[in-house]
């Protein structure tokens, strides 16, 4: 009898070792990260154009509408991307084709229905019911128009998880990182050049999202054909695993709540208590802080499918090693942008957005600290989900959501955008700490291994960085090369734990990179 795992989960011939799984994850995620960096640059250029072209009130109204859309979109998804990322790799591993196709159909049905329902509710609330979450009439008009983004963007998010579950990093990069951000930038430049109003810009965003859905659908059909599944899709009667899918999704709605609140609640509270300009002051720097989350957001795409395969094989040791290797890579890659956004928040903010936004620099520094702690700790929440510790995940998420609401209610009315930044950062740090303790106490994944502790000590350098721009003159021109040098130093110091030479064997070809990546002891 095989000792590989439970019945029906025996690995195929040539099953990857944990190190190989880590290498696959890092290599695939590196491709995605390159795409995400490109997408961020294009998206951030779009943001800069909007901030400088629109008045502060207009941009605040636009940002308020986007915050509301993001909050409702999270509920429209009903955790279907997480469900797809967990179950599709398991069904493929077991050869359960009927469940595979049934789960895809269910995910699309739930996402489409949820998206349409949330969009209709938002439009009816502000046009028919007279709901006024903000006094700015422009913001309310934009919300009524941009609510139509909810189903479109929800379907896009589901396609991303589907491509990840089938191991197609290339499709994600082309669609999500190149096509859509470029189209959005061209629409913004064209409309602003033609003197379009902010409502017309919202219609342009809708058109780009609709094009993205059509392109994603065509690419998914091509992917099924490439994997030899298009014929089976038509011939196999689907088996809809409703109990498995909704049994997994329902407890995770707490995750949806807490992340939607951390993404959107600050903007909504600011709009209610202080108006559109306070929203603009806070939301303008949010994408800068989220540069740090590019790393974790990219690595997350492929993490859950690979972790689900390891769990399906009963490989707890492999899953633990995979978790810490991923965390180590993310800490190393996220530190240079953290250094830039936290230590040089003032020069970066003024240099990009102008002196009108100088007061937003402390918000960027605070958010950067929280984003880095979140990234460097690894995928503690995703790992708990993969292991089925859903009750603990739900309790943690609801606790963090409650903390976020209370902190916003206490701090935003009095302190405005600064209170929103403190509330968001504190909630994120608390949420991450609770997940890390649960991963140790409940899931049995040990605290940081000795080989990794030196790098995770970077978590404690955040407070001194808050004053770095005062001590080091030169602003962004010093920060950028300092960040690049830091990344090279971290790569050299962590070459044993990161296994750079195994993950990227191409680096052995050149003397400089071979010296940088060669380990000090035998593998």
Encode the chain (523 residues) as per-residue pLDDT tens digits.
Answer: 333 333 333 333 334 444 555 555 555 555 566 766 777 778 778 877 887 778 878 888 888 888 788 878 878 888 888 888 888 888 887 888 888 889 999 999 999 999 999 999 989 988 887 777 777 788 888 888 889 999 999 998 899 888 877 866 677 777 777 888 888 888 888 877 777 788 888 888 899 999 989 998 998 888 888 888 877 787 778 888 888 888 888 776 766 666 666 667 777 788 888 887 888 888 888 877 777 877 777 777 667 777 877 887 777 888 888 888 888 878 877 887 887 787 778 778 887 777 888 888 888 888 888 888 888 888 888 888 888 887 888 888 888 888 988 998 999 999 998 899 999 899 989 999 999 899 888 888 877 776 666 666 655 554 455 455 555 555 556 656 665 666 666 666 665 655 555 455 444 555 555 555 555 544 3
Q: What is the pLDDT of residue 8?
A: 36
Place of tokens 């994600």: 172
DSSP code per residue over 351-388: HHH-GGGGGGHHHHHHHHHHHHHHHHT-SHHHHHHHTT
Q: Give pLDDT, residue 13.
A: 36
Question: pTM of the entire structure?
Answer: 0.61
Instruction: Give the whole-angstrom CA distance, residue 5 versus residue 28.
Output: 26
Nearest to 67 by CA among 282, 253, 249: 282
**Do residues 298 and 36 make contact, with C-beta atoms less than 8 angstroms apart?**
yes
| CA distance to 35, 177, 293, 299, 505, per residue, from 27 (Å) | 13, 17, 18, 10, 11
Task: Please answer whether residues 59 and 51 qualify as being in contact, where contact means their C-beta atoms are separated by less than 8 angstroms.
Answer: yes
Buried residues in 440-472 as b, exposed as e (16+ CB within 10 A): eeebebeebeeebeebbebeeebeebbebbeee
> Closest by alpha carbon to 92, among 163, 24, 165, 164?
165
Task: Provide the pLDDT for residue 483.
Answer: 59
Give me the pLDDT at residue 108, please: 93
Give the whole-angstrom CA distance, residue 466 versus residue 365: 6
Q: By the 8 A CB rule, do 34 and 298 touch?
A: no
Cα 269 to Cα 283: distance, rounded to the nearest angstrom: 12
Residue 104's Cβ-side half-sphere holds a number of Cα atoms within 13 Å equal to: 24
**Residue 284 and residue 348 in contact, taking contact as beta carbons nearer than 8 Å:** no
pLDDT value, residue 18: 45
Cα separation, 481 vs 487, in Å, equals 10
Per-position DSSP letters for 29-43, written without gaps between them: HHHHHHHHHHHHHHH
DSSP H or E run through 75: helix 56-77
Q: What is the pLDDT of residue 496?
A: 61
- Tokens representing 345 are 């928040």
State how far the Cα of 23 lies from the Cα of 477, in Å rounded to an integer: 34
Transcribe 199-242 into DSSP letters.
HHHHHHHHHHHHHHHHHHHHHHHHHHHHTT-HHHHHHSPP---H
């Amino acid at each position: 009898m095989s000792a590989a795992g439970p019945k029906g989960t025996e690995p195929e011939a040539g099953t990857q070792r944990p190190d190989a799984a880590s290498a696959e994850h890092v290599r695939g995620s590196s491709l995605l990260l390159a795409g995400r960096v490109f997408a961020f640059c294009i998206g951030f250029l779009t943001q800069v154009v909007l901030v400088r072209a629109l008045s502060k009130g207009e941009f605040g109204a636009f940002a308020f509408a986007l915050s509301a859309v993001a909050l409702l979109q999270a509920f429209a998804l009903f955790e279907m991307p997480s469900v797809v990322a967990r179950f599709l790799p398991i069904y493929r591993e077991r050869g359960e084709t009927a469940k595979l196709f049934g789960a895809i159909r269910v995910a699309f049905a739930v996402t489409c229905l949820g998206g349409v329902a949330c969009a209709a509710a938002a439009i009816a609330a502000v046009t028919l019911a007279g709901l006024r979450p903000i006094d700015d009439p422009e913001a309310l008009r934009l919300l009524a128009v941009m609510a139509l983004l909810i189903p479109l963007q929800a379907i896009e998010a589901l396609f991303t998880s589907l491509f990840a579950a089938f191991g197609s990093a290339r499709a994600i990069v082309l669609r999500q990182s190149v096509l859509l951000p470029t189209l959005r930038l061209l629409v913004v430049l064209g409309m602003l050049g033609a003197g379009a109003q902010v409502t017309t810009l919202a219609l342009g965003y809708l058109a780009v999202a609709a094009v993205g859905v059509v392109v994603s659908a065509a690419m998914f059909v091509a992917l099924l054909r490439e994997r030899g599944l298009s014929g089976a899709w038509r011939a196999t009667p689907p088996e809809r695993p409703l109990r498995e899918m909704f049994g997994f999704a329902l407890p995770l709605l707490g995750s949806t709540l807490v992340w939607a609140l951390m993404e959107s609640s600050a903007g909504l509270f600011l709009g209610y208590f202080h108006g559109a300009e306070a929203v603009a002051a806070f939301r303008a720097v949010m994408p800068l802080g989220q540069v740090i989350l590019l790393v974790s957001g990219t690595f997350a795409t492929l993490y859950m499918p690979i972790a689900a395969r390891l769990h399906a094989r009963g490989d707890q040791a492999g899953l633990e090693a995979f978790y810490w290797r991923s965390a180590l890579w993310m800490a190393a890659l996220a530190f240079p942008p953290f250094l830039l956004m936290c230590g040089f928040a003032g020069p970066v903010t003024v240099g990009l957005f102008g002196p009108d936004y100088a007061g937003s620099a402390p918000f960027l520094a605070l958010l950067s600290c929280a984003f880095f702690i979140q990234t460097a700790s690894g995928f503690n929440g995703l790992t708990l989900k993969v292991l089925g510790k859903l009750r603990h995940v739900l309790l943690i998420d609801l606790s963090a959501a409650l903390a976020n609401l209370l902190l916003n209610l206490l701090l935003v009315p009095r302190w405005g955008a600064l209170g929103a930044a403190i509330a968001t950062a504190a909630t994120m740090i608390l949420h991450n700490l609770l997940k890390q303790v649960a991963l140790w106490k409940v899931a049995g994944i040990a605290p940081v291994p000795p080989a990794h502790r030196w790098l995770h000590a970077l978590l404690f350098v955040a407070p001194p960085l808050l004053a770095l721009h005062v001590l080091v003159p030169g602003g962004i021109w010093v920060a950028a090369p300092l960040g690049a040098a830091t990344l090279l130093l971290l790569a050299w110091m962590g070459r044993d734990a990161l296994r750079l030479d195994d993950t990227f064997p191409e680096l052995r070809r050149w003397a400089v990179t071979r010296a940088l990546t060669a380990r000090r002891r035998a593998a």
